[in-house]
Amino acid sequence: MPPSPTPSPPPPPPRKGAVMTFDSLEFAVKDKQILQSVFGRIDGPTCILGSSGAGKTSLLNILAGRVAPRAGLTISGNTYLDGQPFDPYKNRRAVAYVMQDDALTATATVRECLLFSANLRLGAGVSVEDKEALVDEVLVELGLNKCRDTFIGSERSKGISGGERKRTSIGVELVTKPDVVFLDEPTSGLDSFAAFSVVESLVKLCEHGATVLATIHQPSSECFHLFRNCIVLSPTGRVVYSGPVDKMSDYYARRGFPVPENTNLADHALFAIALTSEEKLDSSGLYMRVPVKGASVLHMELDEKADPHELSTSFDADPEEEGGGEPDEEKGEGARKRKPAPMQPSHLGDDYTIRKGASHPFKSSFWTQLQWLTWRESNTLRRDTGALIGRFGITIFLNVLFGLIFLNAGRQDSNSELNIRNHSGALTFVTINTMFGSAQPALLEFPAERPIFLREYTTGTYRIGPYVLAKVGIELCLLLAQTLVQYVIVYFMVGFQGNFILMVLVNWALGLTSNGVGILIGSAVDDVKTASEFVPITLVPQLLFCGFFISINAIPVFLRWARYLCSLAYALNLLYIIEFNGGTCTPGAVAQANCAAALSDNEIYEDLVGLYVAILLTMFVTFRMVAVVVLRKRARAVY
Ligand SMILES: Nc1ncnc2c1ncn2[C@@H]1O[C@H](COP(=O)(O)OP(=O)(O)OP(=O)(O)O)[C@@H](O)[C@H]1O
C-alpha cells in the first residue's frame, strides 16, 4: 500500500445546497442482486468507494435518474431531497451529470465550452454580460484561466491536459449553478495533483450550494480527505460505511480493522473488505445497518454507543434542516423490515422538483439554440483544417483521376456503343464518388460527436431540432462546395454535355441523402469501427442497382424493387436524363437511338423527372428524421 501521510481533514465547506438522502435502495439485473439496502446522505462533497463491480456507477446512475425500471431491471428504494420524497427519474434533467469520458467539442476553446453551456442553459433571464461574467468567474475558480483560450483538442490535435479537460467538464456544469451534480469517476486517469485539483473543484461546487456525489477510484489520501462523506460499497453491493470521512477511521478501528500507520484510509477501507470473508464482515459488524426513517432521514450521526450488530448508524431529524418532512416514528427492526417502495416515476407522491421549475429541460429559445449550434458547427468546420483538407483533397485527387481516365469520354460521338459505354461509365463513377464522399465523413465523424450530443441533450442544453438543423445547414454549404469543386474538375475534363448547374444540383442532392445515411448509421451504432462495417451493406448494393454493372432489365424481377430504395439510382436517373436526352446527344439517328437506349435499358423515363426529384428529397428528409428518432431513443436510454 502506498505510504501517505493522513492530513488533518479540512473544515467542512459551508452547506447551502439541498441534502439528498436515500435508504433501502435495491437494484437487481435479472436474478443478479447488485445493490442491497444501500443508504446514505449527500451533504457536502460525497464520494462512493468500492472495488470494481461493487455497484458504484449503478448507485450513481440510479440516484441521477439515469436508470429507469424496465424489463429485467428491478429498482426500489426511498430517496429524499431536503426531506421531501424525491423521484430521481422524474427530476433527471435537473441533475448535472459529469460523465467519466469528457464529451467536449475538440475545436472549441475552454471558455467557448463554458459560454456555450451558459448561454443555452441559463436562458434569457440572465443577461449576456452576466453570463460572460459568470463564465469568467468559473474559469478563475477552477484554475482554468491560463488555458481559457486553448482548444480542447483531440487525439489528432493536442489541446488542454487531462486535468484541465475534466475541470472544463465540471465548469460546463458549474456555470448553470446546479443544485445536484453527479460525477462518474472524475479523477480516473489523472495524476495525483490533477486529481486533487479536480476534487478541490468539487468542494467549490458544494460551496456554490450544489449537492455533489462522485464515484472514485484509488483516491490519494489528500484527495479523499477533501470529501465530507463517503459511502463504501462491498463487492456484493452492501453498505460497509456511509457517513463522514473524518469518522471512518474510528468506525473501522472499533470493528477490529484499525487503519495501519501511514496507510491511505481509502485503500484500507477496500483492502479490509477484500481480505475478509463475508461471514467475518457480518460478525464483526463492519456492514452498516440503518433503521429506515423515511422522510425524516436528514441528519446522520454515527452512534458509536449502539451495538454494532444492531444499529451502527442512527438518523435524527433536524428540524432546522428538515424543510417540512414529517417525523417518522418507525424504528429498529420493524422499520428495517418495511418494504421499500419501488422507484417508479408514478410512485413518489409529491413531485418534488429541485428548485421548482428547474426541471424544465430547455431554458433557451429554439432560435438561440440554432444560432449557438450553427456558430459551433461553423467554428468546427473552420478550425478542423485537417478534416477540411482531407475532404477536399480527396475530392480533388479522385476527380482529377477520373477526369484523366475518362478524358473527353463525353465528347466522343454517340454513334459508337463503346463511346456511349465510356460516357455513361464516367457519369456513373463520378456519381458513385459523390455518394461515398458524402457518406464517409458523416460515418467517421458522427459516432465521435454523438457523446457530446447525448451529454448536452440529456442536460437540456438544446432540443434535437436545432441540433439537426444546424448540422444540415452547415452540411448543405459544405456539400455544395464539395460538389462544385468536383464538377469544375470532371465536367470539363470528361466533357459532359448536360447542363452544368443541373448536374451539380443533382449531385448535391445525392450528397445530402448519402450524408443523411451516414448520420443515421452514426446515430445508431456505438463507434466508428461498427459504423465502417455498415458501409458495405448500405452503399455497395446501390452500385448493383445503378444500371452500370448490370442493366436493370437483367436483374431478376423479384429483386428489382430494391432499386427504389437507392438514392444513387434516382440521382443517376436524373443525370442520365440530363446527359443523354435528345438535345445533348450527338445528332444522327444511330446516336439518338444509342442515347435513348441508355435510358430505356435502365427503365429511366423522362416524364418521371418530377418523381425522381421528389423521391430524392424525401429520402434526404426521411434519413434525417429517422436519425432524430434514433438519437432521441438513445438519449432516453442514457437517462
Ligand atoms: N444494466 C445492466 N445490465 C447488466 N449488468 C449490469 C447493469 N448495470 C450494472 N450491471 C452489473 O452490475 C455490476 C456493478 O456494475 P457497476 O458499473 O455499477 O460497478 P462499478 O462499481 O461502477 O464498477 P467499476 O468501478 O469497474 O466501474 C457489474 O457486475 C455490472 O456488470
Report the SS3 class of residue 260: coil
Q: Looking at ligand 1, which residue's alpha carbon is closest to its atom 5?
A: 29
pLDDT band of residue 637 (cuts 50, 70, 90) is low
What are residue 136's phi and psi, to 5 degrees? -65, -35
Rounded to whole angstroms, the Cα distance separating 256 from 254 reads 6
Task: Judge whether 624 and 472 are in contact, CB under 8 Å.
Answer: yes
- Confidence at residue 309, expressed as pLDDT on a 0 to 100 scale: 34
The distance in angstroms from the start CA to the end CA of the chain is 37
Ligand 1 pocket residue status of 277, Cβ below 6 Å:
no
Provide the sign of the torsion angle of the four alpha carbons 454, 455, 458, 464, taken in this order: negative
Q: Looking at ligand 1, which residue's alpha carbon is closest to its atom 24?
A: 52
Q: Looking at ligand 1, which residue's alpha carbon is closest to its atom 18?
A: 55
Rounded to whole angstroms, the Cα distance separating 99 from 470 reads 25
Q: What are the pLDDT digits (tens) for 6-32?
A: 454 454 444 456 788 888 899 998 889
Whole-number Å distance, alpha carbon 229 to ligand 1 midpoint, is: 22
- pLDDT higher at 188 or 619: 619
- Confidence at residue 72, expressed as pLDDT on a 0 to 100 scale: 79
Mutational test site, ligand 1, from 58, 185, 216, max ligand atoms within 8 Å of CB: 58
| pLDDT average, residue stretch 157-165 | 90
Q: Looking at ligand 1, which residue's alpha carbon is closest to its atom 13?
A: 53
CA 511, chain centre distance (Å): 26
Q: What are the pLDDT digits (tens) for 265-320?
A: 999 999 999 888 888 888 888 888 765 444 333 333 334 343 333 333 333 333 23
Angle at the Cα of 42 (from 207 to 271), degrees rounded to 5?
Answer: 110
pLDDT band of residue 324 (cuts 50, 70, 90) is very low
Rounded to whole angstroms, the Cα distance separating 595 from 147 reads 63
Q: What are the pLDDT digits (tens) for 602-632?
A: 888 999 999 999 999 999 999 999 999 998 8
Q: Looking at ligand 1, which residue's alpha carbon is closest to its atom 8?
A: 58
Ligand 1 pocket residue status of 415, Cβ below 6 Å:
no
- pLDDT higher at 47 or 141: 47
- Confidence at residue 91, expressed as pLDDT on a 0 to 100 scale: 79
**21 Cβ contact partners less than 8 Å away, ≥ 6 residues apart:** 39, 40, 41, 42, 79, 80, 83, 297, 298, 300
Q: Note the helical H segments in 292-416.
A: 319-322, 332-336, 366-383, 385-405
Q: What are the pLDDT digits (tens) for 582-606?
A: 777 888 888 888 888 888 888 889 9
Whole-number Å distance, alpha carbon 612 to ligand 1 midpoint, is: 50
Nearest residue to 570 (alpha-carbon basis) of 532, 614, 624: 614
Mutational test site, ligand 1, from 25, 27, 29, 99, max ligand atoms within 8 Å of CB: 29
Rounded to whole angstroms, the Cα distance separating 507 from 482 reads 10
Report the SS3 class of residue 31: coil
Ligand 1 pocket residue status of 237, Cβ below 6 Å:
no
Residue-averaged pLDDT of the chain: 82
- Percent of the chain with pLDDT strictly greater than 70: 85
Rounded to whole angstroms, the Cα distance separating 94 from 353 reads 8
Rounded to whole angstroms, the Cα distance separating 59 from 185 reads 13
Q: Note the helical H segments in 213-257.
A: 221-224, 248-254
Whole-number Å distance, alpha carbon 233 to ligand 1 midpoint, is: 13
- Confidence at residue 513, expressed as pLDDT on a 0 to 100 scale: 94
Ligand 1 pocket residue status of 389, Cβ below 6 Å:
no
| pLDDT average, residue stretch 468-493 | 95
Q: Looking at ligand 1, which residue's alpha carbon is closest to its atom 17?
A: 57
- Interface predicted TM-score (ipTM): 0.96
Q: Looking at ligand 1, which residue's alpha carbon is closest to its atom 29?
A: 53
Q: What are the pLDDT digits (tens) for 344-397?
A: 332 222 333 333 334 446 778 999 999 999 999 999 999 999 889 999 999 999
Ligand 1, atom nearest to 61 Cα:
18
Pairing of strands 180-183, 95-98: parallel
Ligand 1 pocket residue status of 212, Cβ below 6 Å:
no
Distances 93 to 90, 97, 179, 528 between C-alpha atoms, Å: 8, 9, 11, 28
CA 519, chain centre distance (Å): 15
Report the SS3 class of residue 637: helix
CB atoms inside a 10 Å sphere around CB 310: 12
Whole-number Å distance, alpha carbon 632 to ligand 1 midpoint, is: 24
Q: What are the pLDDT digits (tens) for 30-71?
A: 889 999 989 999 988 999 999 999 999 999 999 988 876 677
Provide the sign of the torsion angle of the four alpha carbons 90, 239, 73, 325, taken in this order: negative
Provide the sign of the torsion angle of the four alpha carbons 426, 429, 433, 435, taken in this order: positive
Ligand 1 pocket residue status of 637, Cβ below 6 Å:
no
Whole-number Å distance, alpha carbon 54 to ligand 1 midpoint, is: 7
Ligand 1 pocket residue status of 108, Cβ below 6 Å:
no
Report residue 611 as a C-alpha cell: 418523381
Task: Judge whether 348 and 341 are in contact, CB under 8 Å.
Answer: yes
Whole-number Å distance, alpha carbon 58 to ligand 1 midpoint, is: 6
Topology of domain 20-336 in CATH is Rossmann fold (3.40.50)
Q: What are the pLDDT digits (tens) for 191-209?
A: 888 889 889 888 877 887 7
Ligand 1 pocket residue status of 53, Cβ below 6 Å:
yes
Ligand 1 pocket residue status of 60, Cβ below 6 Å:
no
Task: Judge whether 331 and 291 are in contact, CB under 8 Å.
Answer: yes
Identity of the amino acid at 613: V
Judge residue 367's burial from the number of C-beta atoms within 10 Å of its C-beta, 0-12 exposed, 13-18 middle, 19 or more buried.
exposed
Ligand 1, atom nearest to 233 Cα:
21
Q: Looking at ligand 1, which residue's alpha carbon is closest to its atom 2?
A: 29
Domain map (residue ranges) of the chain: 20-336, 366-638
CB atoms inside a 10 Å sphere around CB 536: 9
- Confidence at residue 638, expressed as pLDDT on a 0 to 100 scale: 55
- Percent of the chain with pLDDT strictly greater than 90: 44
DSSP 315: E
Rounded to whole angstroms, the Cα distance separating 21 from 300 reads 10
Report residue 342 as a C-alpha cell: 419501488
- Confidence at residue 401, expressed as pLDDT on a 0 to 100 scale: 95
Residues in the chain: 639
Ligand 1 pocket residue status of 58, Cβ below 6 Å:
yes
Judge residue 8's burial from the number of C-beta atoms within 10 Å of its C-beta, 0-12 exposed, 13-18 middle, 19 or more buried.
exposed
Task: Judge whether 230 and 14 are in contact, CB under 8 Å.
Answer: no
Angle at the Cα of 439 (from 619 to 427), degrees rounded to 5?
Answer: 80
Ligand 1, atom nearest to 73 Cα:
1
pLDDT band of residue 639 (cuts 50, 70, 90) is very low
Report residue 503 as a C-alpha cell: 448536374
Mutational test site, ligand 1, from 34, 67, 238, max ligand atoms within 8 Å of CB: 34
Rounded to whole angstroms, the Cα distance separating 600 from 594 reads 10
Whole-number Å distance, alpha carbon 89 to ligand 1 midpoint, is: 19
Q: What is the pTM of this model?
A: 0.78
Whole-number Å distance, alpha carbon 57 to ligand 1 midpoint, is: 7
What are residue 38's phi and psi, to 5 degrees? -80, 140
Report the SS3 class of residue 23: strand
Q: Looking at ligand 1, which residue's alpha carbon is closest to its atom 30?
A: 53
Q: Looking at ligand 1, which residue's alpha carbon is closest to its atom 3?
A: 29
Q: Note the helical H segments in 384-463.
A: 385-405, 417-458
**450 Cβ contact partners less than 8 Å away, ≥ 6 residues apart:** 522, 523, 631, 634
Ligand 1 pocket residue status of 55, Cβ below 6 Å:
yes
Angle at the Cα of 290 (from 289 to 293), degrees rounded to 5?
Answer: 165
